A and B are shown apart, each in its own frame.
Chain A
Amino acid sequence: MELFVFLVAGAACIIGALGVVLNSNPVHAALSLVGTLFGIAVLFIAQEANFLAAVQVIVYAGAIVVLFLFVLMLLGVDRSEDLSIEPLGAGQRIAAVIVGLAVLALPLMAFRSTEGEATGAIAGPGDANLLRAEVADVAQLGESIFTTYLFAFEVTSVLLVIAVVGAVVLARKVKRADYVEDPLVAAAEAADAP
């Protein structure tokens, strides 16, 4: 059963990821991204991270991709771009694929050399963050975040406030140049000038 789930969700992930890279239309790329995100949410459930799967669908597929689509539609940049005439030479493309294969080969070699063990350190019964089967993962996650990672959690809230302020500052239209062109202001300035 887990094999079936893994194969279907993994195929959805990889097809979606290839769709993001290969689609010439940014809207189609964003929709392919939903496939990948959903496949990863299914894989989270397969690994008993149910809360994170829900958060994945809500935050990523529900918020981030919608934000992408909003920007695409609002700016009207949803035209297709031809990948073959993108300002990128074939040499750079081959180099990018070589870099990607190197990035892929490195962890694969590591998995091969460690033979399926992460670090070999299994959390013991005395560990406060031990994943217990009888307790819901939300409860354990909350306990961990609000005790072990409390400081990181608080810093996260500061980060979000900074991000919101930064987005407002960036998205604001600069009006200062327009004021000079304003006829009333121009008339007032002309009246002031002798």
Chain B
Amino acid sequence: MVEVKGLTKYYGDYAAIEDVSFRVERGEIMGFLGPNAAGKTTTMRIIAGFMPPTAGTALVGGIDVVQDSVAARKRLGYLPEQVPLYEDMSVREYLEFCAYVRGVPRPSIAQRVAKVMQDTSVTEYADSLILKLSKGYRQRVGIAQALVHSPELLILDEPTVGLDPRQIVEVRELIRSLKGDHTVILSTHILPEVQVVCDRVVIINEGRVAAIDAPEALTARLQQKQQVRLQVRGPSKEVMAALRGLPGVVGVSETDAGDGVHVYTVESGRGKDVREAVAALIVNRGWGLRELSPVSMSLEDVYIKLTGGATDEGSDTGTDSGKEVKA
């Protein structure tokens, strides 16, 4: 559906993106992941036909976005990052305008507008001025606008930014519901979003593609070892020694959680699950086992590795820390 080859864009002497290439198959949701200023917006703007690249080509459904820009633009809907809307119009008027400009046949405009308002749950605000809508509803109107002419390709630039957690879940569900009928490219710097929503990920950093794969494949590829986290009440030195003595265990680290409880991180080789052995050991020795959980290497770790952020190998036990990664 989308084929990007050697895309390069210079702003003066500054290269926003360099030699970016990837493909997006029909019906796929592709996540475009990278720190701020990595070149996500630039790439999306070029695919959307908003501005031409300095070099390289982008095809939407086989149509070059520069050579035959209008034909390519007919097949896509685009939601820019800051959700620009004509605020002096009502939701319905705005969507009707968008449908009309994008060539939806006149008799079916009202029906299309009603459909997208329903899909994005903005029907109850159909006749409110956009000016008066909250951020969450503006975002929905933005998505409705991109969908109104039922384009094959949807390009969403940070569609969940600035929303509250509930709205984020709703928008993600909405995007997932588009899968199959539409091809979606969405950019984000929020990692869990990619894991939840996307079929494939393009990780971009400093204007270059760092990796392209399915989220699970990416994590698996970089996952060298398995980790188990456990909380035990008992003498830490003895526990440490006993854990180290288990077959398959390659490393143990320990932190004091207070009140006689210690938290241990047990590392084992790839493909060696030591959880049952660890549990049996602790129970047999009469220590208090309070928690035992696997720590999988998250996409976050992959991302930090690939984008050259602060890596802190070994001691990183959490999967939910630091969602925002600086460029």
User: Do A and B originate from a single complex?
Assistant: no
* Chain A residues at the B interface, C-beta cutoff of 8 Å: none
